[in-house]
Structure formats: structure tokens, C-alpha cells
Structure 1
């Protein structure tokens, strides 16, 4: 029984890695099996096929991202400090966001089932950021004129766009500049309260 669970885990983790590296089309069942060290029979014993395995992998990535982000937003500090910690956390910038990259994958976006965890996670992130910003405004840390929902969407767009700019330049510098720019604008909203 333990070996069966280990095989399932290896298949999911291998699929997660390959989706991040190659996208859905570039992630063949054979590549998954090779990376997981599992045979075709093992793969189809645990999953109905590549779409079911991809869904398990995407859902796992989404769950882990939400847990990590939620921990950062629940930490002590001002709204700007918590958002700054989130934006500046260690990332593999040149690989991009494991979920954000899937939005550029036409096969994932065309499949409502595969798209759902991506869509739900970005909606959750915007809502969670909105809550942190609204809390900051309510505590007088940020200007009351700040629109929390619009600002949350802008922060997510800056982050995802920063990945794209970094990958295009093959340098983390554009990502760092985008984050610094967003935080500069947010800090300016905080400074107006002093």
C-alpha cells in the first residue's frame, strides 16, 4: 500500500515539475513516467489519464501556493509589510509562476476542468490581497482613497508581468524593478497618512 501511495506522489510531483518546465502539451505521459520512475501500468492504475494527473498536479500547486501566501498575509505587521514580504519572497523568477505560466497554455485554458484551479487561485489571491489592503486602510495605514480591489488586481498584474519581463530579458532585474515600483506606489499611499 505504501509503495502505491509513493508511486502516486511521484507521478503528481513529476507532473507538477514538467508542467512548470514544459507546459501541458510538452508534458507527455512518457516523460511523466520516466521522471517518476513509474511504468505505464502504474500511471493508469492511479489516474485515468494525463488530464486527471494534470488536474491533480495543478490542484496541488494551487493548494501549496495558497497556503504559503496565506501564511505571509496572516503574519504580524502592517499591510504594506505583509504585501512586501509576499512580493519579495524567494522565487525562481526565470521559471515564472507555476500557475501563471499555465494561463499561456492554450490546452489548459481551453479545458474548464484544468483551468478551474488556476482561475480560482488567482481570484482567491486578488480577494486575499483586497482584504489585506482594506484592513490597512481601516487601520489608517493606507489612504482611505485607495481602492483595495483595484490595487489588489494591479499588484497581481505587476507580479505576473514581472515574471514575463524577467523571462524575456533572461534576467531577474525587470522583476525586481516591477516589484520595487509597485511597493513604491503602495508606500506612497501609506506616506500620505503621516
Structure 2
């Protein structure tokens, strides 16, 4: 791994663990096992490095989600695969956790990839749900955009509940609950 990549990887880990304020240049350099000049050779400073790390995390999360959303199967099956995929639940969502970081939310550049990721996720879920509705799999009265926002809210809330309880059980219950709600939206076969 190149020095630049080690710096980004270390920053990603530290942002997830400590947030922006707790991610000092010194901690990044120690974790990446590089000298001080390396950071400033590749990045203009902490914000530039953090932005690269947040963008990388956002890109990876979107790619992982897209793998489930673009897979064959019903809309509910694809959303189920997305919600049930392996996650480090007790660490929380690496993008969602940044919404609780006042320094990230106050900085338009750092906030942009967070906003873009949630916008993309809601849009992509809306598209999958609309496909299911249009194919007759889901109730025609279901609003795909509102349902997509509900799915995202339940997922992010599940992370919060799991961290608060120091148990994955609340997350698992939240995911199961939203999937049961989606199952209730199954279209009634016409007679």
C-alpha cells in the first residue's frame, strides 16, 4: 500500500473510531506508520486528508449497497440483502456517525460526501421500491420515496440503539421490523 493510501486508510479508521476532532495528524501518522512530511506531501492538511478519507468511505459504502440493489431478485429480496449484509453494528455506520460530529457538519466540504451518500441511498432505495411497485410486487399505493426514507431512518436508528445497548440485538430487531413492514406492503393478488 502506498504512503498516500496508508494515510487515507488510517484516517478512515480513526474518523470511525474517534470522529474528526479526535483524529489528530499525529494519530494518523502513527497509525499509518509514516513520517510527518508524508502527510503534507500528499495532502494540504487535516481537512484535505479527512475529505479524501470520507469520500473513500462513502464510495465503498455506495458500491457495497449497489451490489445488493443491482442483484437479480424482487425489490424486497434486494433490500433484504442490503439490510442483512454483514456490518460492524456496534461501531455504527461510518458515514452515519459523522452526522453526530459537529465539526464535520459545520464544514461544507466535509459534510458534502455525507449528504451525497444519504441522498444517493434514499434515491437508490426509492428506485428499487418503485421497481417493485411497478412490477406488481408491492402495493400500488405505497410511496417509494417515503418508504425509502423510512428504511434509511430505521437502519441508522438501529445502529444508535445497538451502540446504546452495547448489543447487536436492537439493530437486528429494527431490521426485522422494517422488513416485516415491507412484507405488509406486498401487493394483494388480483382474483
TM-score (norm 2): 0.98
Q: 1:1-194 to 2 correspondence within 5 Å?
A: 6-190=2-186, 192-193=188-189
Distance 1:178 1:188 in 2: 15
CA deviations 1:64-119 (Å, max 9, x no partner) are 11111111100000000000000000000000000000000000000000000000
Contact 2:8–2:53 under 8 Å retained in 1: yes
State the Cα distance separating 1:173 from its structure 2 match: 0.3
Distance 1:39 1:187 in 2: 54
- Runs of at least 4 residues off by over 6 Å: none
Contact 1:19–1:27 under 8 Å retained in 2: yes
Contact 2:138–2:185 under 8 Å retained in 1: yes
Distance 1:191 1:129 in 2: 18
State the Cα distance separating 1:123 from its structure 2 match: 0.2
Distance 1:67 1:84 in 2: 16
Distance 2:53 2:119 in 1: 19
Taking only aligned residues, the RMSD between alpha carbons, in angstroms, comes to 1.0
Contact 1:72–1:82 under 8 Å retained in 2: yes
Structure 2 unaligned regions, length at least 5:
none
Distance 1:192 1:96 in 2: 36
Distance 2:62 2:86 in 1: 16
Structure 1 unaligned regions, length at least 5:
none
TM-score (norm 1): 0.96
Contact 1:142–1:193 under 8 Å retained in 2: no
Task: Give the number of equivalent residue pairs.
Answer: 190
Contact 1:143–1:193 under 8 Å retained in 2: no
Distance 2:12 2:107 in 1: 17
